[in-house]
Amino acid sequence: MKSLNFCIVILSSLSLATITKSQDPSYLYHSCSNDTTYTRNSTYQANLNLLLSSLVSNATRNNLNGFYNSSLGLDPDDVYGLFLCRGDVNKNACHNCVALASKDAIQRCPVEKVVVLWYDLCLLRYSNRAFFATMDQDPGVFLFKSDQNIADEPERFNRLVATTMNDTVTQATIATSGGKKFAVEEVYFTKSLNLYSLAQCTPDLSSSDCNRCLRIATSILPSCCSQKPGASILYPSCNVRYETFKFYNMTTVAAKPPPPPPPTQLTRPKGRGHVSIIVIVAIVIPIAVSMVLFCMGFGFLRRRARKNRVSLPEKDGKEH
C-alpha cells in the first residue's frame, strides 16, 4: 500500500480567521507531483487548457451540487479533472474559486500532470490518469493553529470534537448516489464558545468510500491537533474541519426542509367504494324486511288457526 504523503501547514489564528470570513476564495495548499510532467505547447497542455476552461464554465450551473468532473483527449495525452466547491457556497462564489484555481494551477504547477489545489471554498484537481469515483488520500494535508490551545477543560473539548465530528461524518455519508455529500454541525461547549464542524466528500464516491475517507481523516485529529481550537484535514477525495467560530454560511446549510403535508382528512367514499356500500345496503335491507314480513305472517296464521280451532262445533256423538 502506498504510504500517505502528509504535509503540515501551521496557520496563525489571525490568518485562518481572515480566510473564512468572506465568500472570496483563499488559497490553502497545493500539491504537484514531479513524477509525471508534460512538454510545453504539447498536445497534453492543449487538452489541459481546454479541460480547465470546461471546469470553469460549468461552475455556474445550478444542477451540479458544486461538483463537476470531465475528461479530454486520447492516450497518451488524455487528461482528467474535477472541482468540488464547499457545500455552503453559492454558484457565483463557486465559479470565482474554480476560476482562480485554474489560473493558479498553471502558475504553481507549470509542467506537472498530477495536481491538487485546495482553497477554503473549493478544490481543483487534474491528472493524466482516471481517478473518478475513486477514494484518494494521497497527498494529505492537515492544518491547525499553532498559537492557541483551548484553556478551559481541554480534555472535554477533545471529547466534544470527537463526538461531533463522528456525527457530522455520519450525516455527510447518508446522501443518495450523486447527491451532495456534505454536512455541518454546531454544538455548545461553554457560554461563550461553540464548536462548528464540517465534513465533505466528492459526490462521485460511494457512501462506503466516503465514510471510509472521512473516518480516516477524523482519526488523525487527536494526534495532530489535540486541544487546538481549529483544524482541517484535506484529502483529494474528502475533507473535515472544525472551528470555534462560524466559518460556513449558516443561512445556506441551516435551512430546514419544508414541513410535511398536513394529515389527509377522511372523506366520504366515492366511486367504486360508494357502489360497494350501496350494494351491501341493497342486499341487507330486503332480507330484513322479508324477515319481518315472515314473522308477521307466521303470527297471523297461528292466531287464525287457533281461532278456527276454538269456534269449530263439537259432534254430539248420536247416530241417525
Q: Which residue has the cell 468510500?
A: 209
Nearest by Cα to 164 from 237, 240, 216: 240
* Sign of the alpha-carbon dihedral angle for 97, 98, 102, 108: positive
Angle at which helix 43-58 crosses helix 91-108, to 10 degrees, equals 160
Pairing of strands 6-11, 140-145: parallel
C-alpha pair distances (Å), 163 with each of 118, 132, 134, 218, 222:
26, 31, 27, 10, 12
CA 85 to chain centre: 14
Give per-residue pLDDT as tens, 258-306. Answer: 334 344 343 333 433 333 222 323 323 344 444 545 555 556 555 655 5
pLDDT band at 130 (very low <50, low <70, confident <90, very high): very high
Q: Supply the pLDDT for residue 32.
A: 95
pLDDT band at 24 (very low <50, low <70, confident <90, very high): confident
* Rounded-to-integer distance, Cα 123 and Cα 117, Å: 6
Mean pLDDT calculated for residue range 10-23 = 46
Q: Which residue has the cell 322479508?
A: 290
- Percent over 70 (pLDDT), the chain: 71
* Residue 91: its H or E element: helix 91-108
* Residue 131: its H or E element: none
- Where do the H-state alpha helices sit in 205-270? 207-225, 250-253
Yes or no: domain 7-253 corresponds to CATH 3.30.430.20: yes
